[in-house]
Amino acid sequence: MLELASLIARQARYRPESTAVVYAEQRLSWREFGERVAKVGNLLRARGIGRGDRVATAAGNSLELLLVYWAVPSIGATLVPLSPLLLAPGLASLLLGAQVSCLIAEQALLPVLQQIRDQLPPQLLLIDGASGDYPDLRALSAGQSVILEPVPCAPDELYNIMYTSGTTGEPKGIMHSHFVRAMYATLMANALRMTPESRTLHAGAIVFNGAFVTLMPSFYLGGRYILLRQFDAETALATIEREAVTHVMLVPAQIVALLAAPGFDPRRLASLQCILSLGAPLLKADKDRLHAALPGRLYELYGLTEGLISILDREDALRKPGSVGVPPPFYELRILRDDGSSAAPGEIGEIVGCGPITMSGYYQRPDLTALALRDGRVYSGDLGYLDEDGFLYLVDRKKDMIDSGGVKVYPRDIEEIAARHPAVHEIAVFGVPHARWGETPMAAVILRPGAQISAEALCDWINAQVGARYQRLAQVVIVADFPRSAAGKTLKRELRAPYWSASGRII
């Protein structure tokens, strides 16, 4: 049997007065955190929730949400984290599709919940106060016992259903077992050089799978986990300095925001040992700025929630510029040609991998599972290559690749060049229709605060820098922001859509 809940009990026994969790002004020791988890678990059990039931959450970061994350698997139920940014139709669809028995939400979601009242699961609890027919989880759990008898779980039992953020289409429910989450704990603790003394800051939404990359190892080791309600550059800087944070995980847009913050000073971040970039490629220009300000701290993680991963260690960050690293122990990465054969070093192909964090499949979608999982391997849909030393380099997503007159154009190549311009804050290159070539690249750009340059002048500058004629941009548009998933990823599909709407082509 594999009881992840035993991690909390273990830390509460052997590190009872060490700080476990910091959220806003709240600080809980391992003993206090364990007692609070037990109270929530006993409440859910008293309301008839048990082994195999699906418990969904739809709330922003909070201490209560973190308690629920540990209480649900403790009683053998399956966790289904959902974004609080979902609109009524999307939320109703996922609740029904995942066969949810209990929804734990927050009051901010009440207007959405009222629209789908007839489609809500039998049980609904609010984490931040009662409202009408919906009771308050905190109040109800207060009187519960601090002793929880966890349900023994087999390694292959379902731990969670994680819905993808929909950057490439309809969200899919990715199933992870208890064994997979245990492997997140051990593999990532090793890869990120974490110890029981590590202090980990999480500034993004814990609804997404990336949160488990540092959540699981921190709780496995008994370190300190510091959670922000949401990302804000100044708040993150102040928290890192005040709490002497050693490990922080950020998406590239957050790294860029930190570097650009008025209060940024490397001396405030002297405690940091690990800055983990994940979620999207960190452009070289931004990487260089980070190395200059905070040398020897950058780790990069490339991965899919489905269970594909490589990690660039801080010791290799300068030795292998542009790489996203190597697979962790017990994991295999391969690059395959279109015919399924293995590509040679330096040859671009599809990134495929298998190992102990591989998903069980997409929930109730055997058709999609068969496409993504073949012979136990995850087919990423991403293009890349391995060098002679086995280090992985990303090229682009297959779906983002631009086919211009039969020539493969990789948007990231152009983005790397454009990011060198001092006025460019963020850039997204994508393909748009072209009468002769089929499609051609264009770019949407967010300018740095105070930057003054026209779209035409920027387009001319980029086109003068690119290495080939087929990389020249047809157009640059300057925008205030990009459409993003709730995880902060740029939705290129939505950027492309207006330009392709009249073509009849599905993008």
In the structure encoding, which two tokens stand for residue 319, read together? 């030795």
Which of 52-66, 74-88, 394-408 comes out lowest in average pLDDT? 394-408
Whether 318 is in a domain gets the answer yes
User: Are residues 281 and 262 both part of a single domain?
Assistant: yes
User: Are residues 378 and 409 both part of a single domain?
Assistant: no
User: Are residues 454 and 473 both part of a single domain?
Assistant: yes
Provide mean pLDDT across the span 311-324.
94
Q: Dihedral through CA 478, CA 479, CA 480, CA 482, nearest 10?
A: -130
Contacts of 255 (CB under 8 A, 6+ apart): 275, 277, 282, 286, 290
Between the alpha carbon of residue 82 and those of residues 127, 160, 180, 249, the distances in Å are: 15, 11, 20, 21
Domain boundary among 153, 180, 213: 153
Provide mean pLDDT across the span 433-448.
89
User: Are residues 466 and 409 both part of a single domain?
Assistant: yes
Whether 204 is in a domain gets the answer yes
Select from 359, 300, 353, 351 the least CA-distant residue to 331. 353
Q: What is the pLDDT of residues 21-78, one digit of tens each?
A: 999 999 999 999 999 999 999 999 999 999 999 999 999 999 999 999 999 999 999 9
Give the position of tokens 């973190």. 66
Banded pLDDT at 119 (limits 50, 70, 90): very high
Which of 460-464, 475-479, 500-504 comes out lowest in average pLDDT? 500-504
**Can you tell me the distance from the alpha carbon of 293 to that of 83, in angstroms, rounded to the nearest whole number?**
34
Banded pLDDT at 169 (limits 50, 70, 90): low
In the structure encoding, which two tokens stand for residue 145, read together? 């016992």
Domain boundary among 126, 153, 180: 153
Q: Dihedral through CA 419, CA 442, CA 450, CA 204, nearest 10?
A: -70
**Can you tell me the distance from the alpha carbon of 295 to that of 288, in angstroms, rounded to the nearest whole number?**
9
Whether 418 is in a domain gets the answer yes
User: Are residues 262 and 298 both part of a single domain?
Assistant: yes
Q: Helix crossing, 63-74 with 30-46: angle to 10°?
A: 60
Whether 183 is in a domain gets the answer no
Write down the pLDDT at residue 336.
96
Do residues 184 and 73 touch, judged by C-beta distance below 8 A? no
Whether 389 is in a domain gets the answer yes
Given a cut of 70, whether residue 503 has pLDDT beyond it is: no
Banded pLDDT at 283 (limits 50, 70, 90): confident
Given a cut of 70, whether residue 96 has pLDDT beyond it is: yes
**Can you tell me the distance from the alpha carbon of 6 to that of 11, in angstroms, rounded to the nearest whole number?**
9
Whether 371 is in a domain gets the answer yes
User: Are residues 411 and 371 both part of a single domain?
Assistant: no
Domain boundary among 131, 153, 175: 153
**Can you tell me the distance from the alpha carbon of 356 to that of 475, in angstroms, rounded to the nearest whole number?**
44
Write down the pLDDT at residue 167.
44
Whether 328 is in a domain gets the answer yes
Given a cut of 50, whether residue 491 has pLDDT beyond it is: yes
Q: Helix crossing, 455-465 with 411-418: angle to 10°?
A: 110
User: Are residues 309 and 444 both part of a single domain?
Assistant: no
For β-strands 173-177 and 199-202, DSSP reports them as unpaired
**Can you tell me the distance from the alpha carbon of 318 to that of 301, in angstroms, rounded to the nearest whole number?**
15
User: Are residues 255 and 380 both part of a single domain?
Assistant: yes
Three-state DSSP string of 243-305:
HCCCEEEECHHHHHHHHHCCCCCHHHHCCCCEEEECCCCCCHHHHHHHHHHCCCCEEEEEEEC
Question: In this structure, what CATH number is given to the domain that contains residue 26?
Answer: 3.40.50.980
Write down the pLDDT at residue 437.
80
User: Are residues 488 and 445 both part of a single domain?
Assistant: yes
Highest mean pLDDT among 178-182, 406-410, 498-502: 178-182
Write down the pLDDT at residue 506.
44
Given a cut of 70, whether residue 100 has pLDDT beyond it is: yes
Provide mean pLDDT across the span 189-207.
97
- Compute the mean pLDDT over every residue in the chain, rounded to the nearest whole number: 93
Whether 260 is in a domain gets the answer yes
Three-state DSSP string of 345-373:
CCCCEEEEEECCCCCCEECCCHHHHHHHE
Do residues 298 and 287 touch, judged by C-beta distance below 8 A? yes
Given a cut of 90, whether residue 486 has pLDDT beyond it is: no
Write down the pLDDT at residue 269.
98
**Can you tell me the distance from the alpha carbon of 483 to that of 468, in angstroms, rounded to the nearest whole number?**
29
**Can you tell me the distance from the alpha carbon of 427 to that of 425, in angstroms, rounded to the nearest whole number?**
7
DSSP annotation of 384 reads E
Question: Which long-range contacts (C-beta less than 8 Å, at least 24 apart) are formed by 416-419?
Answer: 416/283, 416/284, 416/285, 417/462, 417/465, 417/466, 418/443, 418/445, 418/458, 418/462, 418/465, 419/283, 419/284, 419/285, 419/286
Given a cut of 90, whether residue 147 has pLDDT beyond it is: yes
Given a cut of 50, whether residue 507 has pLDDT beyond it is: no
Given a cut of 70, whether residue 383 has pLDDT beyond it is: yes
Provide mean pLDDT across the span 279-300.
91
User: Are residues 44 and 144 both part of a single domain?
Assistant: yes
User: Are residues 382 and 446 both part of a single domain?
Assistant: no
Question: In this structure, what CATH number is given to the domain that contains residue 304?
Answer: 3.40.50.12780
pTM for the complete prediction?
0.84
Contacts of 352 (CB under 8 A, 6+ apart): 308, 333, 334, 335, 336, 377, 378, 379, 380
Write down the pLDDT at residue 331.
96
Given a cut of 90, whether residue 400 has pLDDT beyond it is: no
Write down the pLDDT at residue 171.
79
User: Are residues 300 and 271 both part of a single domain?
Assistant: yes
Which helix H or strand E contains 26, and what residues bound it? Answer: strand 26-29
Banded pLDDT at 493 (limits 50, 70, 90): confident
Total domains in the fold of the chain: 3
Write down the pLDDT at residue 282.
85
Q: Give residue 227's domain range.
A: 199-397
Contacts of 62 (CB under 8 A, 6+ apart): 23, 106, 127, 128, 229
